Amino acid sequence: MREKEIIEKENIQLQERLELLKQEYEGKNKELIKINSEIQWKEEQIEEDKNKLMHSNNSILEKRNKLNNYSSFEENILGRIRQLEKEIKIKEDLIIETKSLIEEIKGQESLKQEEIINSNKI
């Protein structure tokens, strides 16, 4: 009988130990589920932050491109203005030269008329 009692006692101890292990397992499993939920929440937060950063980066790049476009546009406009100023200067010089030629021709014409008048007097 003694052996049977020892075996039963060991069996009860094993059952108790098994029950404790089950409880410990359930506790650890609940803890693991909680940790996994926290990890998932943090991953979602990281993904949101990443999306915000990407959006900000895209906005910055878009604004930088606009600034570069404005800068190029301004350079083109200034270049065109300089070109037009040169053309205006050339045309002003041409007008001055033409006026000079007209005055010279008028002067020559006056001299010719005087010569004609003088030659008719003779």
Q: Quote the pLDDT of residue 121.
A: 72
Which 8-state DSSP code applies to residue 122?
-
pLDDT in tens, 1-26: 688 888 999 999 999 999 999 999 99
CA atoms within 13 A on the CB side of 37: 6
Which residue has 């943090």 as its token pair? 42
Q: What is residue 1's three-state secondary structure? A: coil
The pLDDT tens digits of the residues spanning 81-119 come to 999 999 999 999 999 999 999 999 999 998 888 888 888
Give the mean pLDDT of the chain: 93
Digit-coded pLDDT (tens) for 45-62: 999 999 999 999 999 999
Handedness of CA 49, 54, 60, 66 (dihedral sign): negative
What are the domain boundaries of the chain? 1-88
Dig out the tokens for 36 from the structure: 């996994």
